[in-house]
Amino acid sequence: MQRYNNKIALITGAGSGIGRATAVRLASEGARLMLVDRNAEGLQQTLAELPEGAEALTKEVDVSLEAEVEQCVADALAHFGRIDVLCNNAGIAGGDYSTAPDQSLETWQKIIAVNLYGVMLFTKYVSRHMLEQGQGAIVNTASVAGIRSGAGGNAYSASKAGVINFTMTGACDLGGSNIRVNAVCPGLVETGMTKPVFDYARANDKEAKLGARCELRRYGRPDEIASVIAFLASDDASYMTGQALAVDGGNTASLNLPGMKV
């Protein structure tokens, strides 16, 4: 399929994991890309994995800094002339699993700044252009952690719940101008962000337990999430907006309490 011929997609967090897989998927369907990440080396690796002949620009950006976001969007428009798709994928886990009595305000501020403010800022500046062109699709990477507890630390979970709600309010703000806003909520997927979890499991002979509590009894791959992002951003999802799709192997389909599954 070439659903993205003549379309421009801006992808944040494109230097690894789901962002990289999304870049490869959209490029394979004809998209021209603006790839954004803080990791310059990661961006170069993503470029190396794109299909031959794919057109892509890269830019190092801290998504939590408004001036950098505004300039990035301006640069994309100066080069490509338009932005049809925005994939807000950049995010951090923070590595903090402290319980409620031991929360760190500094950790919360750092995680919220990247995971939630970053989504808001890129949506702010890209949607202004989409309003002028009268169309566009925005896909935010949230998480099952934003749907229920147990899939991330408190700050991370709160940030992803915020992304889900901003997806809905953004869809209401922009729907009248033919701009769709949806979110994908991955379950456990092997990426750079989840590397500590996978490294620990493998080092302690527990890899078989990774993903064992979801209905498909396995963890996911970045390309499986990318395929859903590619659907949500395409005309195949032309009547979908304000939705948060769990792509989690069925993890959120049941109570999923400890000891319920073997």
Q: Taking the chain (262 residues) in consecutive chunks of 10 residues, what is each chunk's mean pLDDT?
A: 94 97 98 98 98 97 98 98 98 87 95 98 98 98 92 93 98 98 93 66 68 79 97 98 95 68 48
156 flagged as catalytic:
yes
* Structure token digits, residue 90: 């950049």
Single-letter code of the amino acid located at 47 = L
pLDDT at res. 4: 97
Domains of the chain listed by start with CATH number: 8-188+221-247 (3.40.50.720)
Going by DSSP bridges, is the β-strand pair 179-186/244-247 parallel, antiparallel, or unpaired? Answer: parallel
What is the C-alpha separation between 104 and 234, in angstroms, rounded?
Answer: 40
Global pTM reads 0.93
Q: What is the pLDDT of residue 20?
A: 98
pLDDT computed for residue 262 by the predictor: 45
Given the residues 4, 117, 156, 219, the one annotated as active site: 156
User: pLDDT value at position 207?
Assistant: 67
